[in-house]
Amino acid sequence: MDIFAFPPLAWLLDTAYRGLAGLSALLEPLAGASAAALAVILVTLLVRAVLIPVGISQARAEQTRARLAPRLRALQKKHKKNPERLQKEMMELYRSENTSPFAGMLPVLAQAPVVGILYTLFLRPEIAGHTNALLSHDLFGAPLGTSLVHMLTGGPFSAPTLLVYAVLLLIMLVVADITRRVFQPAPVDDSPMSSPGMLRVMNALHYLTAVFAVFVPLAAALYLTVTVIWTLVQRALLRRRYPLPVAVAA
C-alpha cells in the first residue's frame, strides 16, 4: 500500500517537491548539477534552526535528569522490591520538577518526517503524476537518488558515488566518536545501565546514523551528515550554557 496515494500525504509530498525543486532552480547558476544537494543542505540548516528552542529544552532536560540522578538512585534502592511503588515515586519526582523521563526526545521525533520525505522524494521516478526532475541532480557526479547499498548490490557501480559516500560516512563516524567521548554519561554504581554490556550497546548507538545512511538515497544521507555536525556543535555550546552537576560531569 502506497501511503503517499492518500490525498493529504500526496499533497504534502508534491508541495515538498515543488519547494525543493524551486530552491534548486534558484541555486543552479551557483551550483550547477549539485544545486539540489545544496538545496538539501540549506533545508537541513533551516530545519535545525527551527528546532533550536527544542534543543535548548533538551539541554535543560538533560541537566535536570543529571541533577535528579542521586534521588532516583535512592528511590531505586528504597523500593527495589516494589516496582509499582518505585514507578509512582519516580513519576511524582519528575512531576515535582516539571519534567519527564522522556523530555528531550522531540528533536529525533521531529526530524523523522523530514528524513522520510527526503527519502521518498529521491526514490520515486514520478511525483504527483509528473517526472521527478530532482533525480537528474548529483553531488560531484554521485546521483542523489542512489543509495550506497543499492549501488553495491544492484549496480551500476559508480566511483563518484562510492567516494562521496565514503567522505560522508567518515564525517559521521568521526562526529559519532567525538560525541561518544565528550558526552559519555558517568557510570553509576549498582546500576544496570552501567554494566559492560549495556555500555557497549549505548556506545554503539552513536554510530547508528552512519549505518542507516548507507541504506537511504544520497540526498537523505547528506541531510543526516549535516544534522549530526549541527547536533554536535549545538550540544557542545548548550552544555556550556547548561552544565551538568559537578559530581555527574566528573
Q: How many domains are contained in the chain?
A: 1
Instruction: Please tell me the predicted confidence (pLDDT) of residue 159.
Output: 94
pLDDT value of residue 153: 92
Percent of the chain whose predicted confidence (pLDDT) is above 70: 83
Q: Show the domain range for 161.
A: 3-249
pTM above 0.85, yes or no: no
| Alpha helical stretches, state H, 79-207 | 83-96, 106-121, 148-154, 159-182, 196-205
**Confidence (pLDDT) at 42:** 94
Higher local confidence (pLDDT), 144 or 58: 144
Least confident of 101-110, 136-145, 208-217: 101-110
Phi, psi (degrees; rounded to nearest 5) at 126: -130, 145
Closest CA to 138 of 40, 212, 43: 40
The model's pLDDT over 94-127, given as tens digits with 9 standing for 90+, comes to 777 666 655 556 556 666 787 788 888 888 888 8
Looking at per-residue pLDDT, the higher value among 244 and 230 belongs to 230
Q: What is the pLDDT of residue 150?
A: 92
Residue 38 — very low, low, confident or very high, per pLDDT cuts 50/70/90?
A: very high
Give me the pLDDT at residue 171, please.
96
Band of the pLDDT at 77, cuts 50, 70, 90?
confident
